[in-house]
Structure 1
Amino acid sequence: MGHLRSQGAITKEPERGATIPGVDDVRVGFAGLGIMGAPMAGHLLRAGVPLTVWNRSPAPALALEAAGARRAVDVLDLFERSDVVVLMPANADALDDVLAALGDRRSELLAGRTVVNTGTVAPERSRALPERVSADGGVLVEAPVSGSRRPAEEAALVGMTAGARDAVERVTPLLRHFCASTTFCGEVPAALTTKLAVNTFLIALMTGLAESFHFAAAHGLDPTLLREVLDSGQVSSPISRVKSAELVDQDWAPRASLADVLMNASLMTDAARAAGIASPLLDVCRDLCAEGVERGDGGLDVAAVVRTITDRSARESVPPPEKTPQEAR
């Protein structure tokens, strides 16, 4: 059973996959069928939600069409067929491109519709979206999700929502089809700011874990033993267990790509600068991710940042400090 947190209040949700009267018959459009977007849309489809999909590259949309979704020929067609449009853009520019594609039919196609942005963009860019959408009669709900490919496939994402409370409450039952929980954060851009705060911890955890395995390897330790100890201790978590397994197996298939993590880290350090605060751990993590992308690992999973750390060790090759006369005795 999932739960919806509402500024301190917890309300009981229906069983996952259950029909939600007045919601599951709403026509839903979904644009952005990448590593996470495709499984998110798939959960809506399997729940019986009337679904139309669109993606820049057609392959993921064709796969969902084969499973029973309707495939829009373009963004205009997507909005025409939908009451609620869920967007999972790769970045802010992709989000802007979708809205710009409405062209001179913008007022017609936004009026009366709810646009739900589940992607990650800079909070300051998101701040302007509600007014941009409402100017043409629509409503914007900010709903970024925390997680990667596996939680998306398992409908175990963590959703954060912001916007007009009534609009958020209308779309939350749809989010439950791919989120294990949702938390209402307040006005836009509070949900995205919350996600960046969460990612501050996640990125530090993932890069720290990679360094832990690098440290162990450099000292001749068996990585499977390190994994066993980490998975058994207080620091163990679902994400650490997944990433530990990837590091042991050197499995770099992207669940959360290094390039995407770099994009998030850059948003976070930019937000920190704008707030006038220090971000020492984030700065190091961002630089490591940037080095990894530069070495050609951007399409690999973030766990592959261990390769960048290994490169640094080889490049720096810092000799141990010489002993002092007292230590030499």
Structure 2
Amino acid sequence: METRVGFIGLGIMGRPMAANLRRAGLPLTVWNRSPRAAADLASLGAVVRPTPSAVFEASDVVLLMLAHEAAVDEVLQRGSEAFVRMVSGRALVHLGTTSPGFSAALGRDVEAVDGDYVEAPVSGSRIPAERAELVALVGGRPDVVARVEPLLGAMCREVVRCGDVPAGTGTKLAVNLYLCTMVAGLAEAFHLADRLDLDLEVFRRALDSGPMASAVSAVKLAKLVARDFEAQAAVRDVHTNTRLIADAARAAGVHSPVLEATRELFRETEAAGLGALDMAAVVTALERQDTGRAGRVSSGPATRHTPSGRDHG
């Protein structure tokens, strides 16, 4: 019998991930707090349910892509009879990024009521999600992982088995430490090039042509040059990630000075009211520190008119 799939959480990442499940021909039931995103999935043939519990009732495997731990607990109603009814006899796949301790405790709670649990936080942002090019970092019992791996394969270009829970979450945090500090470093390099009055398109070509180029640097540098901060990975979510990474590092007795500097930049950016913009907008924190005011901020692309590429407006 074909696996009935449920998907809860249709935000920046969840909506394209769920859409790829439908494009793979999987029967899909969805719920989202905001009905507009759910309506988009309905146009692809997904069945929209009025509550999370209704999604569980209609599904054998339910995938959660929620923003933070509190949202997971709220949706699942952990500690209640409703939680038992929802997860008992079903597989729950936790796709979001939380602390290792939270994921491990959630897995114990699910298994205590005869459910199955897999953590599969994904590495990637909106564009890889749209292209089904995410990387799933999976933790769980091998038999349960094998059962849900075809579903992950519909959304991801690679599924990496990390071991038992919470090894998948731990791997995601370690990967994200590199991602967050890399993008902050790229923003700082861009800011220096801008303040040196360099031609920013030339700077972009120089970096994209060299050994430091990557898929992330190409996308984020293009956004910085265009002053396009439409969110692919939002500042507020990245700031939350840096907190989770810092907490995990402290728990492990690991010193993380580069992360702490990066975390402060994202904190300042969110505190300035820019939390909904792309993580590349972290450059505005550097601009404020240098000039006492942020540069022009946009949620979409802008055109530069000066020969050097600098924005003097």
TM-score, length basis structure 2: 0.91
Q: Distance in 2 between matches of 1:28 and 1:101?
A: 21
Residue 106 of structure 1, CA deviation: 3.2
Residue 130 of structure 1, CA deviation: 1.6
- Secondary structure class of the residue paired with 2:70: helix
Q: Does 1:94 align with 2:71?
A: yes
Q: Does 1:44 align with 2:44?
A: no
Q: Which residue of 2 aligns with 1:220?
A: 197
Q: Distance in 2 between matches of 1:143 and 1:101?
A: 20
Q: Which residue of 1 aligns with 2:160?
A: 183
CA deviation profile, 1:150-207 (whole Å, cap 9, x unmatched): 0000100011101111000110111011101011111111001000000111111100
Q: Which residue of 2 aligns with 1:314?
A: 291
Q: Which residue of 1 aligns with 2:217?
A: 240
Q: Which residue of 2 aligns with 1:251?
A: 228
Q: Does 1:76 align with 2:19?
A: no
1:1-329 correspondence to structure 2 within 5 Å = 25-100=2-77, 103-315=80-292
CA-atom RMSD in angstroms: 1.3
CA deviation profile, 1:258-312 (whole Å, cap 9, x unmatched): 1110000010011111111111010000000000001111111010111110111
Residue 108 of structure 1, CA deviation: 3.2
**For residue 218 of structure 2, what is the amino acid of its counterpart?**
R
Residue 46 of structure 1, CA deviation: 1.0
Residue 314 of structure 1, CA deviation: 1.3
- Secondary structure class of the residue paired with 2:33: coil
Give aligned pairs, total: 293
Q: Distance in 1 between matches of 2:249 and 2:216?
A: 25
Contact 1:75 1:101 in 2 (8 A): no
Gaps of 5+ in 1: 1-21, 317-329
Q: Distance in 1 between matches of 2:48 and 2:79?
A: 17
Residue 137 of structure 1, CA deviation: 1.0
Deviates more, 1:93-102 or 1:266-275: 93-102
Q: Distance in 1 between matches of 2:251 and 2:89?
A: 35
Aligned residues with identical type, % of pairs: 47
CA deviation profile, 1:1-30 (whole Å, cap 9, x unmatched): xxxxxxxxxxxxxxxxxxxxx6xx210000
Q: Which residue of 2 aligns with 1:321?
A: none
**Greater radius of gyration (CA):** 1
Residue 104 of structure 1, CA deviation: 2.3
Q: Distance in 2 between matches of 1:123 and 1:186?
A: 13
**For residue 32 of structure 2, what is the amino acid of its counterpart?**
N
Contact 1:28 1:83 in 2 (8 A): yes
Q: Which residue of 2 aligns with 1:5?
A: none
Q: Distance in 1 between matches of 2:231 and 2:20?
A: 20
Q: CA separation of 1:102/1:280 partners in 2, compared to 1, >3 Å: closer, same or farther?
A: closer
CA deviation profile, 1:194-238 (whole Å, cap 9, x unmatched): 000001111111000000110001111011010000000000001
Residue 58 of structure 1, CA deviation: 1.0
Deviates more, 1:300-309 or 1:94-103: 94-103
**For residue 256 of structure 2, what is the amino acid of its counterpart?**
S
**For residue 302 of structure 1, what is the amino acid of its counterpart?**
M
Q: CA separation of 1:102/1:34 partners in 2, compared to 1, >3 Å: closer, same or farther?
A: farther
- Secondary structure class of the residue paired with 1:128: helix
Q: Distance in 2 between matches of 1:183 and 1:70?
A: 30
Contact 1:102 1:109 in 2 (8 A): no
- Secondary structure class of the residue paired with 1:56: coil
**For residue 145 of structure 2, what is the amino acid of its counterpart?**
V
Residue 102 of structure 1, CA deviation: 9.0
CA deviation profile, 1:129-148 (whole Å, cap 9, x unmatched): 12100111101101000000
Q: Distance in 1 between matches of 2:179 and 2:81?
A: 41
Contact 1:133 1:139 in 2 (8 A): yes
Gaps of 5+ in 2: 294-313
- Secondary structure class of the residue paired with 2:20: helix
